[in-house]
Structure 1
Amino acid sequence: MRDRPTGIDETALASVLGAWDIEPVTLTHAPVGFGDHHWVAAEADGRRTFVTVADLAHKPHCGPDTATAWTGLSRAMNTAAALDSALNTPYGEPALVAPLRTGTGETLLRLTDRYAVSVFPYVDAPTGRFGQLLDPGARRGLVERLAQLHGTKPPLTTPAHHPALPDRPLLDAALAGPPRFRAESGPYAQRCDVLLATNSAALRTTLERFDSGTARLTSAASTAPTVVTHGEPHPGNSLDPGGRTLLIDWDTVALAPPERDLWLATDTPAELSHYAELTGHHPDPALLAYYELRWALDDMAAALGVFGTRHTDTADTRQTWEGLVDAVTALADRRR
């Protein structure tokens, strides 16, 4: 997140880091990513670690409330830590940046009832951004890393993926008809009304198509294989130190069809064929399209959740608005 959070006490955060034997001299807010808040902790000896504070009130894929989201996020972090030892390169190098464990073996600690802390090794390497077009070599490296991940035995803690949208009620309410948003909620409320009114018919039809795909995927007759998937393997969630691909940001890890990851990694037939050569699984075009559609609807729901409540004009809400416009435009254009 780009905005510095006002509800997080950095003194309390520094105290929690003691469970990882970290005594930060400085905590520097890192305005990166979207959804979680991040800091870099620097100790007196120069060692740095990357600190993530998750907002459990806004983790619907982990659980509908803070209590269940805590359990879901804990399972995800423990899964990533278990994968760290199972998912090494042939040269013994790591294939992901996994959460560090405390002295008592925990990967996640509470900061407050709402916020939870995890700690990661600091990797000094460039990261990309969502929507960035990777060069062919980087895309091939990402496809190969996903093939390796998908072929790994799932840790017992791996969460199950539920295709249905966790924030679906927000979409239904927003498309039910005006008035959808109260103007006093903030500067983007009425803009949401106009955007949805202009595209409501196309969006309703798209939701019906998504529901049909979800029903097929969750039916007893579904033959779609399930593997350990990352969930969001876009360029913003990978690092490239010295020509390697390291996957980061594991809160969406889950057992799901491989296509949940693959649609984000590449749409190039040759690279999808390379994945099939590595794994024996030929990606299903219908599932690739389904998960692309699900991503856009999920983004749309998350943005509507922001603008349906009190908000102001900040770097984060501007980014959220741009994402909402992109998602609605893509969904409506696809329908047309």
Structure 2
Amino acid sequence: MRDRPDSFDEGLLRPALGAWGIQARTLEYAPVGFGDYHWVADGRWFVTVADVRRRSFDGLRLAMDTAAALREEAGLDFVVAPLRATDGTTLLRLDRHRWAMSVFPFSDGTSGEFGQEQPAEDRAAIIDLLAALHATPPPLSTPLRPLELSDRAGLEQALQESRLSWLGGPYSEPARELIAEHTGVLRRRLSEFDRMAADSGEPVVTHGEPHPGNLMRSGERRLLVDWDTVGLAPPERDLWLVARDADDLARYADATGRTPSLAALELYRLRWALDDVAEFVAWFRSPHGRTPDAEESWDGLTGTLEALAAASPEGQVLPVDHA
């Protein structure tokens, strides 16, 4: 996030790093990513703070434990996993209700951006990583990732209340007007999601968000970061973000013996878009200002609604729209 977290005492970080045996001399805020908050300690450690009101502490702990097990026990060296504290845990509560922290080794490399178009050779490299991940027996800590919308109730409520005033900040009323304009589209796409979700396929260990923003290039190596969404789900949960043509799908099939489902690819694309709309709407119905993160969310909401409104041929593997 580019905005620093509200109501967070950054003075908690240095004492908390002691749980990892780290006595940090420097601690610099890193305005990267979207969702969590990050600092770099002494240029050696990447500190991530999550708001566990938005997702459960226990669920995030399972994800961090799974990423650590994938690297330590399964030997997947492309997994940028959290370091274990001296007591063996991967996630530490910073207070009783809201904030939790994990620590990663600082990886020197470059990453892309969500929605960035990738050349065929880069897609091939990511597909090879995903094939290795999907073939790995799941660690005991691996959470299930059921095919459901993360905040469907909130989105349904917003649709019902799109004729009422929304309060919260400068984007509240524009967002309400935009949702009111697209109510029919959203209801149709929700119904489409329900029809398509009947058969979701056999689960494997998936990353959840293997887009260019979570792919780091370090020399000739490619690393996957941001494992908070790792979990058991059909492989198409990952593949829709990477595969762009028949050659990509054939490469995955050759590596795994499993032919991806075009319908499932489109289903996960639709799920991502609807989840994004729900998240952006919740943001704009809550207190917010005109900040860089709010502006990015507004662009994401408008772009996603435009994509949902556009007719797409059934089963076609389309480029990523907007998150």
Q: Is TM > 0.5 for Structure 1 vs Structure 2?
A: yes
Aligned to 1:82: 69
- In the alignment, the residues of structure 2 paired with residue 119 and residue 177 of structure 1 have an alpha-carbon distance, to the nearest angstrom, of 41
Moved more, 287-296 or 305-314: 305-314
Cα deviation, residue 145, structure 1: 0.2
Map residues 184-203 of structure 1 onto 2, 5 A cutoff: 184-203=167-186
2:160 paired with 1:176? yes
Q: RMSD of the alignment, in Å?
A: 1.4
Q: Is the 8 A contact 1:303 1:321 kept in 2?
A: yes
2:311 paired with 1:324? no
What is the aligned counterpart of 2:257 among 280, 284, 287?
A: 280
Letter in 2 for 1:301: A
Regions of 4+ moved over 3 Å: 86-89
Aligned to 1:147: 131
Percent identity of equivalent pairs: 48
Cα deviation, residue 181, structure 1: 4.4
Letter in 1 for 2:204: V
- In the alignment, the residues of structure 1 paired with residue 142 and residue 54 of structure 2 have an alpha-carbon distance, to the nearest angstrom, of 20
2:39 paired with 1:52? no
Map residues 20-169 of structure 1 onto 2, 5 A cutoff: 20-42=20-42, 48-59=44-55, 69-88=56-75, 94-112=77-95, 113-169=97-153
Cα deviation, residue 180, structure 1: 4.4
- In the alignment, the residues of structure 2 paired with residue 118 and residue 15 of structure 1 have an alpha-carbon distance, to the nearest angstrom, of 13
TM-score, with normalisation over the residues of structure 1?
0.90
Aligned to 1:12: 12
SS in 2 for 1:51: strand
Cα-to-partner distance string for 1:255-297 (whole Å, 9 max, x where unaligned):
0000000000122210110000000010000000000000000
Q: Is the 8 A contact 1:87 1:149 kept in 2?
A: no
SS in 1 for 2:45: strand
- In the alignment, the residues of structure 2 paired with residue 137 and residue 181 of structure 1 have an alpha-carbon distance, to the nearest angstrom, of 49
Moved more, 171-180 or 123-132: 171-180
TM-score, with normalisation over the residues of structure 2?
0.93
Question: Greater helix percent: which structure?
Answer: 1
Aligned to 1:294: 271
- In the alignment, the residues of structure 1 paired with residue 120 and residue 223 of structure 2 have an alpha-carbon distance, to the nearest angstrom, of 17
Aligned to 2:318: none
- In the alignment, the residues of structure 2 paired with residue 152 and residue 180 of structure 1 have an alpha-carbon distance, to the nearest angstrom, of 49
Unaligned runs of 5+ in 2: 314-323
- In the alignment, the residues of structure 2 paired with residue 335 and residue 187 of structure 1 have an alpha-carbon distance, to the nearest angstrom, of 32
